Structure formats: C-alpha cells, structure tokens
Amino acid sequence: MNALRADATPDVGWRQKHLLDVDVLSLAEIQLVMRTTDAMKEVLGRPISKVPALRGTNVTILFYEASTRTRVSFEVAAKNLSADVVNIAASSSSVTKGESLVDTIRTIEALGADMIVMRHGTSGAPYLAAEVFSGSILNGGDGWHAHPSQALLDLYTMRAHLGDVRGKKVVILGDVLHSRVARSNVWSLTAAGADLWICGPTTILRGFDAWAGRWSGGGAPGHAGFTVTSDIDAALRDADVVMALRLQRERMDAGLLPSLREYAARFGLTRERLALAKPTALVMHPGPMNEGVEIAPDVAIIDRSVITEQVTNGVAVRMALLYLLAGGHPEAVTNA
C-alpha cells in the first residue's frame, strides 16, 4: 500500500486488521497506540504537519449517524498522513433507496477503498462490515456498543496529565446505559489499571453492575477496581478524573428518568459536586455536551477541564490508529 507498510517491522505488537473495539487489544497494543500517538503529536507540532505514510491509501469515511468530532478528526488524521479521503453520508447515498449495509460496503470496496471508518446506529454493524470488506474497518461508534478511538483518546489525555493511570480514581458519570463511550472506556481503563467508578441513576446502570461483579473476581490484569454506584458523593470523593457523559435523549426509552431537571439536580456535575474530587481532578466529556444537564456550563470550562484537549488529541490518536492498521511502526513516523 505504501513504503512504510513495506518497511514495517513485523514484531510491533500490533495484531489487528480492524479496530472494532478495545476489548481485543492487549495492554501492549494499547501502549503501542499511546507511543504512536506521541510520534503523531510530534508530527503535528511541525511547521508542515503532514507525512507521506498513507500515500496511495484510500480511506472512506461512511457515517450513518451525525458526528462532528469523530468524522472530522478521522478526515484530518487521514489527510495528515497523505491518504486519499472520500466522505459518504448515508443520508445522501443509495442507502436512502434501500441499499443494504453489505451492498454499500461491497460497492465502496469496488470503488477502491483500503480502509473504511464507519459509524452506525446499530450495535455490531462494523463487525458485519468487517466480514465482507477485504481492507480494514475502523469503528467510529456503533449503537450503544463501542467507540474505541474515543476511549483511546480519553486514555491518552488522562496519561498526558496524570502519567500512569494505574490506581487513579476515574469516575464515569451519567447515562452509561446508552453509552458506547462508557463501554469502550471500561475495557481500556481496566486494562490500564485505573480504579474505575461508574455512577448514574440505578435505572441506567443496568448491566454494568453485573459486569463489575464479574471483573471483581479477577478481571483485566492489573486493574485496581471497578465500582458501580448511584452514590454520587462516594463516586466523586477524591477522584482523579471525572468524565461526564451526555444524557442521550435520542436513545432513551420513556420512563428511565423522571425529568431532565431532576436528572440535572441529582447527577449533574456542578462546582459543588466537583469540590468532592481532588483539587487537581481532570474534568472530561467526550462531547457533544448538554450543558446544564449532565455538566454545568462553568464546570465545562473550568481550568481543569480538558474537554477541548480531548478533541485535539483525537486527531493524533486517529492518525496513530490509521497508521498502525496500515502496518506502520512508531519509530518510522519521525523519519517519514
């Protein structure tokens, strides 16, 4: 596909053809993504932040759901690596005429795609795509299931401030039931050894308590803890990181919450609540935010907020993922 692919060192520790979720990544692979992202940050700091690593590679971005951060940052990332990029919005494609996902993927392959970045409202859709596509599928978010590049950029951002996250108290607060971000973060944060707390109303913690119970019997190597609770004070006390999640009104069945106002009053991240966390605690949110619901507007822009930094880091992390999937090696980036 390109010179770097041909020169790639075989023993890079990266074993994946696709990026469908972080659950299949070893800790060594996650660390390789972090290291490769460091190399991409160095590239992005150059006067001309472009390298030829993916020259001649066709990257198609196929989104069936709305997106700002993921879609744009994958496009910027692919262009920074000199890939040829095609954008397809399902709403303006032959999907509207009844074309199936499988037919769409086969058509995109026939048009020359080497990699497809896709977002789909149905959990598991990228796995089906991976069965019929001969290149690499990168999951940009599927239903409630997974959002691997978001989890990896979240981990990268935490490490940039905290160093090793091992033993650090990380709280994910909000609508975890409908959150692919939360599900992918569980895998990467437990693999990295964080003391993970999941907090929200009992009605939207369904499934996470069983997951935590299973993990407490052994779990991912090195993980410090996995607690699921509706006790927001206990969750926030002495936290190193607080990640608020969007209340996903478009996915919400009626009856899970009494009202938005009550949700904001009981689980919104306010300055008063944040005062329970460590004074240095990072404030994170994957976006898009409902300010005044899951996070107060003044907390979103507090000096410890790294929300815009998450967005910026998304470009470097996605460059790293595209590069590794194309067979690249982090040491080769700086020579590119």
Interface residue list for ligand CP (CB under 6 A): 67-70, 141, 150, 286-288
Shortest Å, Cβ 176 to ligand CP: 15
**Given the complex with ligand CP, which of 26 and 248 has the nearer CB atom?**
248
**Given the complex with ligand CP, which of 167 and 288 has the nearer CB atom?**
288
**Given the complex with ligand CP, which of 193 and 286 has the nearer CB atom?**
286
Shortest Å, Cβ 140 to ligand CP: 7
- Judge whether 183 and 144 are in contact, CB under 8 Å: yes
Shortest Å, Cβ 243 to ligand CP: 11
- Judge whether 144 and 206 are in contact, CB under 8 Å: no
- Judge whether 136 and 115 are in contact, CB under 8 Å: yes
Shortest Å, Cβ 7 to ligand CP: 33
- Judge whether 313 and 286 are in contact, CB under 8 Å: no
Q: Considering only CA atoms, which of 261, 235, 240, 238 is closest in space to residue 176?
A: 235
**Given the complex with ligand CP, which of 209 and 309 has the nearer CB atom?**
309
Shortest Å, Cβ 200 to ligand CP: 18
- Judge whether 282 and 158 are in contact, CB under 8 Å: yes
**Given the complex with ligand CP, which of 180 and 223 has the nearer CB atom?**
180
